[in-house]
Amino acid sequence: MAQSVFDQMPKVMGHRGACGLAPENTLASIQKAADLGTKFIEIDVCLTQDNVPIIHHDMNVRRCTDGEGPVLLKSLDEIKALDAGSWFSDDFRGERIPTLQEALALISKLGLGLNLEIKPTMGWQLPTAEQVAHELIADLPENMPLLFSSFSEETLRSTSATLPDVPRGYLTEAVPLDWERRLRDTGCASLHCQKEFVTAENVAAVKAAGYKYLVYTVNNVAMAQKFLDWGVDSIITDFPDRMFAGLKLDEKAVTSA
């Protein structure tokens, strides 16, 4: 399955949907990414107090809603009462935080591939991974290209045990000196690096070892082109429209890595 997912992964991936153009991790952002022609998106999943996986990045709801407080201390009803759109623009007033189930339904309808970052509150890595896996076993649409990613090695190992056929990506800021051991120990197929720490040398080394290399969050076209020229497999961006307009991509590269 790992190879088939990467075979379908394009050179440009939408970050939290298309979060430069719509409020991140909402159904509106996912729809916007698809409207722009994006074929693969990255979104974040975490847990509510009542153990429901929802699409949200931060531990606290403060930055992207009209509420306050940790997600893990709020019920789904409390989460659904929050406005997750007006902070971005009045055009999105009333947009809600979606559940994983709601996001999967829309992603499936739009025919997108998914890089699902599992984003547990520290200390809640295993319950988060286990519940996300449980819901995916029940609700994952057939034939949806799916990649897990996480900064948490515990989370990556847990998903390896429960969903061994879903490939995993090791998220990092700087590339660790022992990156190959970490990828091997967590069973990951790809390394996902923050843009500031990408070098031609570490791209070459990771690729030579047989792993895929993804970079986040790249919003400058010239920087993205440089990374692709070095052999990076996919660029994760807030602005897919900029990348489609500015990168030297043939038709196959837009839809397949």
Q: Which residues are catalytic?
A: 15, 57
DSSP sequence for 97-141: PPBHHHHHHHHHHHT-EEEEEE-PPTT-HHHHHHHHHHHHHHHPP
Strand partners, 45: 55, 118
Between CA 246 and CA 87 the distance in angstroms is 29
Between CA 131 and CA 133 the distance in angstroms is 5
User: 182 CB contacts (<8 Å, ≥6 apart)?
Assistant: 153, 170, 176, 188
Helix, strand or coil, per DSSP, at residue 214: strand
Between CA 228 and CA 115 the distance in angstroms is 19
